[in-house]
Amino acid sequence: MLAKFWEKDNMKKLGIIGGMSWESTITYYQKINEIIGEILGGTNSADILIRSLNLKTIEEHQDRGEWNDVANILCSAAEDLEQTGVDFILMASNTVHKVYDKVKDAVDIPVLHIAEPTVEAIKKAGFSTIGLLGTRHTMEGDFLKEKLNAAGIQVVVPRKEQFDVIHKSIFEEACLGKVCPETKKMFIDIIEDLKSRCAEGVILGCTELGLLIKNEDSCLPLFDTALLHAQKAAEEIMK
């Protein structure tokens, strides 16, 4: 299906703002190149530049509510990538999409929003009510929910008392490449609760969550934003 997008000597160059965390940036790099390799064969791979940031700095600004500082860091990274001649950019993190509009306005090239391929996949599945897991900022905020709601998709988030333990597990485990059985069991239980509240599927709305939980662990279909974002980027590269 992707073959029609491909012209061997005319692939687009992608800029990734990553390091949020570097664990999930690996997922993007691997998935994009797997897709390119499947379509083109042989030793073909994507032309990618990665601007990897220090997650600790981003995390501290987020936790203090200093979103202008987050935006400034991301805008600077986007401008750096634009100057190298990339054709489009993506931010390999859900949470920083809270400042997506500022980043998009800072450059003259497209910035691929993480919600777009997620909405497409949910609509293709025919679901109208979806669970959302992510950092506390993502679950509390509207920056992803608005995109979903605009597409006619209702969003169910975990119970408020679960927000902190989910957020903590992301930064203290998933971002460090750790997978604890107790944490996996916690997410399985949370997904079962989302199902009882009418969710037909669940968005892994943090790019590290796919490292913690897989489809075979879940009672509901999972929509891994990192994989969907990477798939969309590969398609764009070959347009």
| 124 and 106, same domain (yes or no) | no
| 119 and 209, same domain (yes or no) | yes
Q: Following DSSP, what letter does each residue of 201-237 receive, concatenated?
A: EEEE-STTHHHH--GGG-SS-EEEHHHHHHHHHHHHH
CA atoms of 141 and 13, how far apart (whole Å): 32
Domain range for 33 is 2-113+228-237
Query: Above 50 in pLDDT, residue 4?
Result: no
Query: Above 80 in pLDDT, residue 139?
Result: yes
Q: What digits encode the pLDDT tens for the residues 109-130?
A: 999 999 999 999 999 999 999 9
For residue 232, name the pLDDT band (cuts at 50, 70, 90).
Answer: very high
Angle, vertex CA 219, rays to CA 215 and CA 223, nearest 5: 45
pTM: 0.93
| 163 and 218, same domain (yes or no) | yes
| 97 and 153, same domain (yes or no) | no
Number of domains observed in the structure of the chain: 2
Secondary structure letter of residue 92 according to DSSP = S
